[in-house]
Structure 1
Amino acid sequence: MRINKWLSAMGICSRREADRLIAEGKIKINGKLASLGQEISGEEEIELDGKHISGEGEKREKPKEVLLAYYKPRGVICTTGEKDRGKNVIEDIQYPERIYPIGRLDKDSEGLLLLTNQGELVNQINKSRSEKEKEYIVTVEEDITKHFLREMSEGVYLKELERTTKPCIVFQEENIPVTQRKRQFHIILTEGLNRQIRRMCATLGYTVKRLKRVRIMNLTVDGLKPGEYREIRKEELGLK
């Protein structure tokens, strides 16, 4: 089995994260730096950041499968690398099993985040042929115009990424106070570029004041307060 697949199956991290850790020289196999795509049996002595996660000829048992829906508060970081500053999601949740986030929300954003130790579930979500919708409520500092909503929905060219975002659904709620509605909108994306919504708004001359993710696929953040989480089944996401 390839080392990234083993790390994923054992609930250490996703395959993508495993490849990143290997490239950064943070994974060792039998005392030597791991290489991308390296094959292992699972009985090797494996280290992550100098800590033993497998060894002494014993096969590590696959952990209990975990999938959590978590309301990430503002100020909490999704990544867990040593260069990050501030509290990260793992420290905030303090879950008894090793878990890691599926996707990201930047430090200044809040809302629904999924965490798991099921690498194959991450792959299933990423490879799903269905549109993986993510819905956000965005509050900006400037008054919203119909022109702004139309440009957001049709796609915005992001110079720094050298690409145009996919067309998406953008709308305003009707049953909220006018003073609130004039600076708040919903956006439903099917892609996840780095700081995409903030970049889109900035390109059109708007500044994001608050960004909250309220839905991932079929799952909403309803019932959760900032910092709270609950265990869920993948069927709640619309997956079999």
Structure 2
Amino acid sequence: MDISINKYISDTGFCSRREADKYIEQGRVTINDNIALKGNRVQEGDVVEVDGEPLKKKKNTIYIALNKPKGITCTTDLKDKSNIIDYVNHSSRIFPIGRLDKLSEGLIFLTNDGDIVNKILRAGNQHEKEYVVTVDKPVTLEFVKTMRSGVRILGVYTKKCFVQQEGSHRFRIILTQGLNRQIRRMCEALGYKVETLKRTRIMSMTLKDLPPGKWRYFTKDEIAAINTMVAGSSKTEKGQGSEGMDE
């Protein structure tokens, strides 16, 4: 065995590689009692600890789909009383893949598989996320056209995307990028305010038969399908910038 420290940590199911890097930066990770640095390698027989606690290999890989209700925060910080981990209350240590805003609802994945988190969140993987959004003013043709072609937020133009009006104040949008609070920022830039935002699909998975506030395990077929879709994703973290699976 000879793997990078952040991959070793994510492989145990403790957290994603991105979060592992944060632990390393904070000086909370040791290899054989020596403070770990980014880029360190772990060899067979090395003892890796986080906050003085040895990491143990995970037993089973867990994949969960949750229909997140409003008011739940997509954080692993247990000090936050509305955190998603306490809400799901699973016996194993799991973490969300990406996030949905506290006021947003809908489909989100949780897992203890740090590798698949890394692959799904990688920018440029073109994994579709579908949302139904209601806004505070009537949706116009100009609004739909502009949303489709790209809106300037966070200093960049959003990628072209599918947008379809579904009612006087409602539209459906499919994103392949995940800039922070992207849909809300796009609407705000055009003078609209989001009133409700629900993610209805991630890649091939939908909210079908999953009531609000409930969660279920992926089926074997769903796990196989997701793994096939991310098979081409690089395992490195090159290009893993601000994009991911935010709304």
- Structure 2 counterpart SS, 1:171: strand
Corresponding position: 1:169 with 2:156: no
Q: Which residue of 1 aligns with 2:202?
A: 216
Q: Which residue of 1 aligns with 2:62?
A: 66
- Of 126, 129, 138, 1:131 maps to 126
State the structure with more CA Rg. 1
- How far apart, CA to CA, are the structure 1 residues paired with 2:9 and 2:147? 39
- Of 210, 215, 223, 1:229 maps to 215
Would the aligned equivalents of 1:11 and 1:63 in 2 still touch at CA under 8 Å?
no
- What is the TM-score when the length of structure 2 is the normalising length? 0.83
* CA positional deviation for 1:71: 1.1
Q: How is 1:9-24 mapped onto 2 (pairs within 5 angstroms)?
A: 9-24=11-26
**Where does the alignment leave 5 or more consecutive residues of structure 1 unmatched?**
55-59, 174-180
- Of 25, 29, 32, 1:27 maps to 29
- Of 145, 151, 160, 1:150 maps to 145
- How far apart, CA to CA, are the structure 2 residues paired with 1:172 and 1:39? 51
- How far apart, CA to CA, are the structure 2 residues paired with 1:30 and 1:75? 41
- How far apart, CA to CA, are the structure 2 residues paired with 1:154 and 1:90? 37
* CA positional deviation for 1:120: 2.2
- How far apart, CA to CA, are the structure 2 residues paired with 1:184 and 1:154? 18
Instruction: Give the number of aligned pairs.
Output: 224
- How far apart, CA to CA, are the structure 1 residues paired with 2:148 and 2:126? 16
Would the aligned equivalents of 2:66 and 2:214 in 1 still touch at CA under 8 Å?
yes
Q: Which residue of 1 aligns with 2:245?
A: none
* CA positional deviation for 1:125: 2.8
* CA positional deviation for 1:190: 0.3
Q: Which residue of 1 aligns with 2:43?
A: 41
- How far apart, CA to CA, are the structure 1 residues paired with 2:136 and 2:36? 48
Would the aligned equivalents of 2:97 and 2:121 in 1 still touch at CA under 8 Å?
no
Query: CA RMSD for the aligned pairs?
Result: 2.1
* CA positional deviation for 1:128: 9.2
Question: Which range is displaced more, 30-39 or 60-69?
Answer: 30-39
- How far apart, CA to CA, are the structure 2 residues paired with 1:81 and 1:155? 34
Would the aligned equivalents of 1:155 and 1:166 in 2 still touch at CA under 8 Å?
yes
